[in-house]
Copies of this chain bind each other. A is one copy, B any other.
């Protein structure tokens, strides 16, 4: 899977601060793994899998374990700090929730493209009008085929 388009969070400072505050406020502890995960989430590229994040972190902190990363990502997601998309094919990718956006993912190579929420308006309208459903486009990905893969047949 290739690296996707990188989210360039405009408020990543604020978000990090919020993350730390929320952790503190909820009686959680600032452990080495946690601190490092936050650093890698904020410094590294967006849209990475738990495995990729763990691999990166192991270069600095070799004893960190994949399950800790999953547990922390889960927690950060419940706190609204990160989001993730899961295509059902391959691993889920995690990203900072600084800028809410939808996704289009190439089915062939897995590159991820960000789509502004505005483009999801028609879907939101239809879903709410006909089914009373509130959609959360940032948690999903529409599949597609990118130029490169289309060119290769």
Contact = CB atoms under 8 A, between A and B. Distances in A.
Interface of A: 5, 85-89, 92, 102, 104, 106-107, 113, 115-116, 118-123, 125-127, 130-137, 139-147, 150
Given A86-B88, A104-B135, A132-B147, 6 more contacts: A104-B133, A115-B126, A133-B145, A134-B150, A136-B144, A140-B141
A107 B134 CA distance: 10
Nearest to A138: B143
Copies of this polypeptide in the complex: 2
A106 B136 CA distance: 10
Contacts of A116: 126
Contacts of A86: 87-89
